[in-house]
Homo-oligomer: A and B are copies of this chain.
Amino acid sequence: MAEAGIPGYAYGAREVARSPVSLEELDLLRQTVLFTGEDERYLRMAGEVLEGRLDELLDVWYGFVADHSHLVYYFSSPEGEPIQEYLERVRERFKRWVLDACRRPYDQEWLDYQQEIALRHTREKKNRTDGVEAPEEVSLRYMISFIYPITATVRPFLEEGGRPAEDVEKMHQAWFKAVVLHVTLWSQPYAREGSF
């Protein structure tokens, strides 16, 4: 199940089930977030800028989580202790996700792995990949509200890439759209029957 040496990372693996969202439905979502070919190009550029700074980016995100007990809770044992190995393993997959979000074509394989990531945040699959006993589900409210920090905190990294301000702005808009698209897809297993 490992790929590129990342424990638990299963992009393209056979055991990843098919997404309940069709490519046609994905296309409507792309339209809704105004995602175009230009955004794809700027995401590729963002991937180049972020590639060498993934550990620093994850330091920011993990620092934010660590600073808030209502967030680090989801990485913690029944005794309320953060599970270091869980945090470290997820960190590697999270880094890989940044590159995947920037570089992968948003095709069927990509769609399928979005469903896998969605399920890994919910009671269907959370904790299984890493064999831990943490809370069984990240609440939908935090999945959606994370759109803000995950979008905003990337900006300084994009600015520091040495590209013209106009490119920085376009990379950031493309990233914002991509984050919204991911979280939208990840909300599927949280929705009551028929409401997604």
Binding site for B on A (CB under 8 A): 25, 28-29, 31-34, 68, 70-71, 122-123, 137, 139-142, 144-149, 151-152, 173, 176-177, 180-181, 183-185, 187-188, 190-196
Contact = CB atoms under 8 A, between A and B. Distances in A.
Give the oligomeric copy count.
2
A24 to B, nearest CB: 10
Contact of A191 (B29, B146, B181, B190): B190
B149 A196 contact: no
Contacts of A187: 140-141, 144, 187
A134 to B, nearest CB: 16
B144 A70 contact: no
Contacts of A144: 144, 180, 183-184, 187
A141 B141 CA distance: 14
A111 to B, nearest CB: 13
7 contacts: A29-B141, A31-B68, A32-B145, A33-B149, A139-B196, A140-B196, A145-B180
